[in-house]
Amino acid sequence: MTDTATIPPLSGLRVLDFAQFLAGPVAALRLADLGAEVIKIERPQGGDSCRSMVVNEQILEGDSLVFHTFNRGKKSVAADLKEPADLEKIRRLIASADVMIHNFRPGVMERIGLDYPAVRKINPRLVYGTVSGYGNEGPWRDKPGQDLLVQALSGIAWLNGNADDGPIPTGFAMLDVATAGNLVQGILACLLRRGITGKGALVEVSLLSAALDLTFEQFTCFLNDAKRQPQRHRIGNANPYQPAPYGIYKTVSGYLAIAMTPLSELARLLQAPEIDAFGQERAFCDRNDIKAVIAGILATRTTDEWLGILEPAGVWCAPVLDWPDFIASDGFEALDAVQTIRSASGDEAYTTRCPIRIDGRNLGKGEGAPALGLHTRTILKSFAAGEE
């Protein structure tokens, strides 16, 4: 009897990944981690533009290392969608697929003839996922859908930093990754529905929608506060709508993060009755003055000394670690979060593994990204003969 616990949950599904750069390929990567066969459809000249997007001068097997992190374990088919012969082969491949993903700007797939209405005629059971920057309507639809630009347009950059700072974006592609997660959720939901109805679906996500979804707590506060721009804390801002002491504070040896804590309890532990004098009801209105007092006290001892006082009392707090300290921690070791990927020639690099565990097992693929067009012949030869 087959041990179903060893079979990846999406084993047997075929995903066609037409996407480039990050959000679309990361969604396809997650489906690959979950067991699907993912085939990248790339242009013959250069392929996915991310292949040449070298970050930190790191390259693996001639392609950007970051490209490998988004595309590990996939297959690659090189096809010129402007050439009728190649396009016909891809149409036949689409007929065999379960999922198709792209992140072309609005209108591109319509011109090629692979938009959802056209593809649905080829394969009514297909789940068709699209990623855009700003949706398919409105005056922003043709703007570049890039993470930093959407952080700027969505107001997110004005949530970070302290009150006297200018706009500060996050130091990573937060919206690309969040958008990928939204796409995966929609695809999986539609695959489940397809199992009941037999019909495919169109799943549409955008970076701008992801920006609002990620900030739903703060944006809801804004909508119900006469739509006034949130005011960041002057000291240690971490969330403009949270009361004191919420934030990050400097100590003698580093930094300390403190989350939601009653002022009376913190006043007792810091031996600072002046904090308690504000009263809990003023924890938001007087947050800057309260945090100034707290900051002055926390600056007198090391982070470890304060942790020794606050953690045993149940205060939600943590040291602020940099990455060298983080990977040296017991918490990181227990996570088992890093895997080795290998190129076709045996070169190795490290990256993160899939964060999902299924039946007690870590997921992930140890192969690096495929060479451009590596699987073109083996995958398309049967379709060229009109077979499936």
Query: Active site includes 176?
Result: yes
Q: Which two tokens stand for residue 116?
A: 């959802």
3-state secondary structure the chain: CCCHHHCCCCCCCEEEECCCCCHHHHHHHHHHHCCCEEEEEECCCCCCHHHHCCCCCCEECCEEHHHHHHHCCCEEEECCCCCHHHHHHHHHHHHCCCEEEECCCCCHHHHHCCCHHHHHHHCCCCEEEEEECCCCCCCCCCCCCCHHHHHHHHCHHHCCCCCCCCCCCCCCCHHHHHHHHHHHHHHHHHHHHHHHHCCCEEEEEEHHHHHHHHCHHHHHHHHCCCCCCCCCCCCCCCCCCCCCCCEEEECCCCEEEECCCCHHHHHHHHCCHHHHCCCHHHCCCCHHHHHHHHHHHHCCCCHHHHHHHHHHHCCCEEECCCHHHHHCCHHHHHHCCEEEEECCCCCEEEEECCCCEECCEECCCCECCCCCCCCHHHHHHHHHCCCC
Please tell me which residue in 3, 176, 289, 325 is annotated as part of the active site: 176
Residue 18, judged by CB atoms within 10 A of its CB (0-12, 13-18, 19+), counts as buried
Angle (CA) 170 316 282, round 5°? 85
Whole-angstrom Cα distance, residue 26 to residue 176? 8
* Residues paired with 40 in a beta bridge: 17, 76
Active site members: 176
